[in-house]
Amino acid sequence: MSAPSHTPAHHAATRPAPRATKVAAHERVEIDMTVNGSEVTLRVPPRVHLADALREQLGLTGTHLGCEHGVCGMCTVLVDGAAARACLLFAVQCEGAEIVTVEGLGSQEDQHPLQRAFSAHHGLQCGFCTPGMLMSSYDLLAGCASVEPEDLPVEMSGVLCRCTGYRGILAAVADVAAEHPDGVPAPRNCRPRTLVGRGGPAPARAGDAVPEARPPAPVEVRLPSGAPSATVEVRTELGVPVEKAWEVLDDFHRLAACLPGAELVEVLGDDRYRGRATVALGPVKLTFDGLAHVVEREGRRMRVLAQGADTGGSTTQADIRLRAEPTEAGGTVLQADAALFLSGRIAQFGRALAGDVSRRMFEQFARAVEENARTGRAPAGPVKPTSALALLAGVIAARLRAVVRRIRRSR
């Protein structure tokens, strides 16, 4: 057991890689790490992130949790000397790592200069963001030659304060930066001690996982009032006559077969259909159960209302208008206009990406329609879900949409 040194920030890259390992989803794995100077061994399943492990296994509740997806910065700790989001790091990844939390920065009797400065400049406010602000500012000033005060708002932008008490916080950091131009002193409260968990819920055991209940299947599509989250307009040309193309669209079974990632589950009557659709995009994979209702059919136009919900609580609704018109060259112009309503977690991934992905899916759908019209059957094999068509078409159910996104970054 040795007290951590003032670890250089690039230490993370130089630590020898931990041993190879393999852990089943509900199996608990032993992880050895150093926390605030003490060597500890945790036993957690792989899904437990470092912040929860610190709080619940070691009782170090100074590390706060806000958003738990990397936006707010409350959970910032030092990992091998560099600030990192403890909610974006699984404890199992920290085998052999050296962690410093706000408890290690200083003690009540021996505060770190940053802690004293936050107090002196009224930078504490409600205190919820304080651990994140302290650890982020420590990372900024440790080993840093100089930081200009005007750069601080950008440099400290990785942690959010809901009190909006930034002025005091930035003044405190500027003060410490000026006092310690060659870098702030090392953490003052890192030494071997006994870390004891303070209770909290017992860690889950294998088999404890409760499957998430799927929401009851609706029988009517209800569109929310208000402006849609996104609107999509796409048109594409097909190399088949309009009669052939419309035959595909007019037959819901054939139409559904052209929807990437979609599956027609049940025909309900009254031109209503129950279906399932999978949207896969990079690491994102959502499966929606939903309903599609063809509310208008006139000539080569149709209007479809669709809604879908996934197990994660994301819901989407769409109001889709499809139209096929002949071209002079004997082909077909397929046009789709859709209004999308997103809610739940998926809405946070909205951005402009929703429209971009929908458009790409529509193009995939259109190609499948073209092939179906030409050959009289669905494309070889089911259309892969790499992009479900969402909205579009009409369809189906579930649909949905797409979108996804993440928050940032690391991009």
Task: Scan residues 343-372 and list those touching other proteins (CB under 8 A).
Answer: 345-346, 348-357, 359-360
Minimum separation from the CB atom of position 301 to other proteins (A): 23
In this complex, which beta carbon is closest to other proteins, that of residue 331 or of residue 382?
382
Minimum separation from the CB atom of position 309 to other proteins (A): 13
What's the one-letter identity of residue 68? Answer: E
Chain position carrying tokens 């930066």: 177
10 Å CB burial of residue 179 (0-12, 13-18, 19+) is exposed
Task: Scan residues 78-107 and list those touching other proteins (CB under 8 A).
Answer: 79, 82-85, 87-90, 92-93
Minimum separation from the CB atom of position 310 to other proteins (A): 8
Q: Round the CA-based radius of gyration of the chain to a whole number and report it.
A: 28
CB 277 within 8 A of CB 292: no
Q: How far is CA 408 from CA 69, 269, 329, 372, in A?
A: 9, 44, 47, 40
The yes or no reply on residue 406 touching other proteins (CB under 8 A) is yes
In this complex, which beta carbon is closest to other proteins, that of residue 320 or of residue 324?
320
Task: Scan residues 112-131 and list those touching other proteins (CB under 8 A).
Answer: none
User: What CA–CA distance (Å, rounded) separates 233 from 242?
Assistant: 20
User: What CA–CA distance (Å, rounded) separates 288 from 359?
Assistant: 19
- HSE at residue 62, side-chain half, CA atoms within 13 A, is 20
In this complex, which beta carbon is closest to other proteins, that of residue 149 or of residue 312?
312
In the list 154, 196, 213, 380, the residue contacting other proteins (rule: CB under 8 A) is 154
Task: Choose the binding region for other proteins from 63-71, 235-243, 248-256, 298-306 (rule: CB under 8 A).
Answer: 63-71
Task: Scan residues 238-277 and list those touching other proteins (CB under 8 A).
Answer: none
CB 372 within 8 A of CB 298: no
Q: How far is CA 304 from CA 58, 170, 323, in A?
A: 54, 54, 11
**What is the size of the binding site for other proteins (CB under 8 A)?**
83
Instruction: Build a one-symbol-per-residue string for 166-205: x at contacts with other proteins by CB under 8 A, - elsewhere.
Output: ----------------------------------------
In this complex, which beta carbon is closest to other proteins, that of residue 14 or of residue 41?
14
In the list 23, 195, 268, 378, the residue contacting other proteins (rule: CB under 8 A) is 23
Task: Scan residues 278-337 and list those touching other proteins (CB under 8 A).
Answer: 281-286, 311-314
Q: How far apart are the first and last CA of the chain?
A: 36
10 Å CB burial of residue 368 (0-12, 13-18, 19+) is buried
In this complex, which beta carbon is closest to other proteins, that of residue 58 or of residue 135?
135
Ordered strands of the 98-100 beta sheet: 38-44, 29-35, 98-100, 76-79, 82-85
What's the one-letter identity of residue 110? Answer: D
Task: Scan residues 214-233 and list those touching other proteins (CB under 8 A).
Answer: 230-232
Instruction: From 275, 276, 399, 273, select the one nearest 346 (Cα to Cα).
Output: 399
Query: Token digits for 193?
Result: 């001690």
Task: Choose the binding region for other proteins from 133-141, 216-224, 252-260, 299-307 (rule: CB under 8 A).
Answer: 133-141
Minimum separation from the CB atom of position 409 to other proteins (A): 4
Task: Scan residues 36-55 and list those touching other proteins (CB under 8 A).
Answer: 45-49, 52
In this complex, which beta carbon is closest to other proteins, that of residue 245 or of residue 338?
338
